[in-house]
Amino acid sequence: MIRVEKDCSLGLIMDPAASQIHPVASKRNAHILVGVTGSVAALKLPLLVAELLKIPGLEVQVVTTENAKHFYNPEEIPVRIYSDSDEWQMWKKRTDPVLHIDLRRWADLLLVAPLDANTLAKIANGICDNLLTCVIRAWDLSKPLFFCPAMNTFMWEHPITARQVEQLKEFGYIEVPCTVKKLVCGDEGFTNATAQFALLALRTTLKSDMEISTSAGVSFVIWIHGFTQFGIGINLH
């Protein structure tokens, strides 16, 4: 299970100039799996991946939904991107690897950014009808899973959204709270500073240090200096 040293809530909006990441020496790099869904905020996926790759000691892979593909150019992303077709192309017989299980085993941390309303509803209700939702349904709950909702204002304010977000929190997943901005459709909407979150910046509502330990022998130590500076230590035992 995820272990939090002190009772705290998380707000993940960063000041890149004030941030520092401090991975410790380890036998291998830490593995972050990015899940991207069909929100317009998926336009930021190339920047998100680019920022993650600046962190020493991290390896990144991406799982995309089919709808998310409308919003980014895969040629701008220098890491492996998996989609639904890969799940079935890799599996031909019973002894073949199962991709969503292999990705769950590979990842030390899952970041779903952005999380659209459709996928939020699927996860909350246990639906696993694509590669990303299968990874999430099979997720090792000792490992951290961050989710970043991004949707139109009226979608966000619908009563069912709050219920579904709370359901994900009950599973032990960690919400990255929304911010308000003008959306492509013209409405104001709730989204995230997704590329900025790539550095896993912890600011605003996080009141104390936090340690996350996983059953795979990976620990993440997150600490705060005031309201603008943060650090993350990744320890692979």
* DSSP string computed for 8-30: ---B----GGG----PPP-SS-E
Of the candidates 129, 184, 172, the residue with the CA atom closest to the CA atom of residue 147: 172
Q: Closest Cα partner for 10 from 219, 221, 176?
A: 176
Single-letter code of the amino acid located at 134: C
Peptide bond into 114 cis (omega under 30): yes
Strand order in the sheet with 174-175: 81-82, 58-64, 30-36, 109-115, 145-149, 174-175
Contact status, residue 29 vs residue 107, Cβ threshold 8 Å = no
- The 8-class DSSP code of residue 79 comes to S
How far is it, in rounded angstroms, from Cα 151 to Cα 146? 17
Identify the active-site residue in 134, 148, 178, 185.
185
185 is catalytic: yes
The catalytic site residues sit at 185
